[in-house]
Amino acid sequence: MARALATVWPLVKGCITGSVLGITVADWVASVVTMDGASMHPTFDPQQAERALVEKCCLYRYDFSRGDVVVFRSPRDHRELMVKRLIALPGDWIQIPEKQEIRQIPEGHCWVEGDNAALSFDSRSYGPVPMGLFLRQGHT
Amino acid sequence: MARALAAVWPLVKGCITGSVLGITVADWVASVVTMDGASMHPTFDPQQAERALVEKRCLYRYDFSRGDVVVFRSPRDHRELMVKRLIALPGDWIQIPEKQEIRQIPEGHCWVEGDNAALSFDSRSYGPVPMGLLRGRVTHIIWPPQRIGRVDRKMPEGRIMPL
């Protein structure tokens, strides 16, 4: 019994170490997300279940640029992740053609839109998104 | 040179392993946060720079209850963490005495308020907070020693309209 345990233990230890290392890397360095939905066509093809690399390194610089594709928790459903393009940063004035209005993005928020405007449920529906919802401040 | 490296390597390996394990535990099990500000008096004492234990297991399925003290990223500044009491969950109707109005909390959001209503910058100023901003629940105060104890779930009376 003790001998069987002794032979298995290095394997178990390796698995645990690997998992913990994997979790830390996925949270803080980069992880992979599977695409779903047509809101970002043609950047992402809805038919193909593409997988994208989500980079997490910019978390300590909180370093986003207009035009980045970002991953964030949906403001309507915190269990769901969404992928959209960051259009405006805090303090920017953005023009919304559908509503014929101009809005200023409040501090700590940003405006996101899908590339496929007709099929995208984004800031034009739920307003500016708090940057705290960004997944560990990562981007693809 | 190689011998010095060989002597130091177990120590370096131990430090790296310890850090990675510590980071994972801090993100997924529990971490510690230092209190600052008077918005949660008397639950937290502003003079004492208390440290509180924040448990993260509630984030797996987002099972929060009304009355929990929660930690969340500020909707006004994503670099800042705030600690307030969760008063209402999605779908609740909440009564706001200051504005003499009743609001329904939208799906995916919650209403937070500080225990010290006069000095608290909370949902009464910035509205319902998306639940995706929640980062954990405060369960205990762990420092200073005279303040060690549980932080209990407490609901203010008469704020949530029963369905």
The per-residue pLDDT of chain B, averaged, comes to: 90
pLDDT of A61: 63
CB-CB contact of A54 with A73 (8 Å)? no
Q: For strand B93-96 and strand B51-55, is the pairing parallel, antiparallel, or unpaired?
A: unpaired
pLDDT over 90 (residue B106):
yes
Contacts of B77 in chain A (CB under 8 A): 107-108
Rounded distance between C-alpha atoms, residue A37 and residue B93, angstroms: 33
Q: Using the beta-carbon criterion (under 8 Å), do B132 and A28 form an inter-chain contact?
A: no
Q: Using the beta-carbon criterion (under 8 Å), do B78 and A20 form an inter-chain contact?
A: no
pLDDT of B161: 80
Please tell me the CATH code under which domain B30-150 is placed: 2.10.109.10
Q: Specify the DSSP class assigned to residue B38.
A: S
pLDDT over 70 (residue B39):
yes
B129 pLDDT band, cuts 50/70/90, is: very high
Q: Using the beta-carbon criterion (under 8 Å), do A76 and B108 form an inter-chain contact?
A: yes
B64 pLDDT band, cuts 50/70/90, is: very high
Rounded distance between C-alpha atoms, residue A65 and residue A92, angstroms: 12
Angle at B46 between CA B41 and CA B47, to 5 degrees: 135
N-term to C-term CA, chain A: 49
pLDDT of B85: 95
Which of left, alpha, beta for B136 (phi over 0: left; psi -120 to 50: alpha)? left
pLDDT of B72: 95
Nearest CB partner across the interface for A79, out of B23, B62, B109 = B62
Contacts of B20 in chain A (CB under 8 A): 20-21, 24
Q: Rounded to a whole number, what is the distance in Å from the CA of A13 to chain B's nearest CA?
A: 12
Contacts of A62 in chain B (CB under 8 A): 78-79
Looking at residue B148, its amino acid is: I
Q: Tell me if the pTM is above 0.95.
A: no
In the CATH scheme, what is the homologous superfamily, with its name and number, of domain A30-133?
Umud Fragment, subunit A (2.10.109.10)
Rounded distance between C-alpha atoms, residue A130 and residue A90, angstroms: 10
pLDDT of A58: 59
Q: Where are the domains of chain B?
A: 30-150
Structure tokens at A45: 């093809």
Q: What is the pLDDT along chain A (140 residues), one digit of tens a residue?
A: 778 888 888 899 889 888 888 888 888 888 888 888 888 888 888 888 888 888 776 555 667 889 988 899 999 999 999 999 999 999 999 998 878 889 999 999 999 999 988 888 999 999 999 999 987 543 44
Which of left, alpha, beta for B14 (phi over 0: left; psi -120 to 50: alpha)? alpha
N-term to C-term CA, chain B: 74
How would you class B118 by CB atoms within 10 Å of its CB: exposed for 0-12, middle for 13-18, buried for 19 or more? exposed
pLDDT of B158: 81
Nearest CA in chain A to B59: A79
Rounded mean pLDDT, B82-96: 93
Rounded distance between C-alpha atoms, residue A96 and residue A100, angstroms: 6
Count, residues in chain B = 163
Give the contacts of B147 (CB within 8 A, at least 6 positions apart): B45, B48, B50, B141
Which of A78, A86, A125, A134 is best to mutate for the B interface (most B CBs within 10 A)? A78
Rounded mean pLDDT, B38-62: 90
Rounded distance between C-alpha atoms, residue A126 and residue A86, angstroms: 14
Nearest CB partner across the interface for A75, out of B27, B73, B108 = B108
User: A20-39 pLDDT, tens per residue?
Assistant: 888 888 888 888 888 888 88
pLDDT over 70 (residue B28):
yes
For residue A42, whether the previous peptide bond is cis, meaning omega lies within 30 degrees of 0, is yes
Angle at B74 between CA A133 and CA A123, to 5 degrees: 40
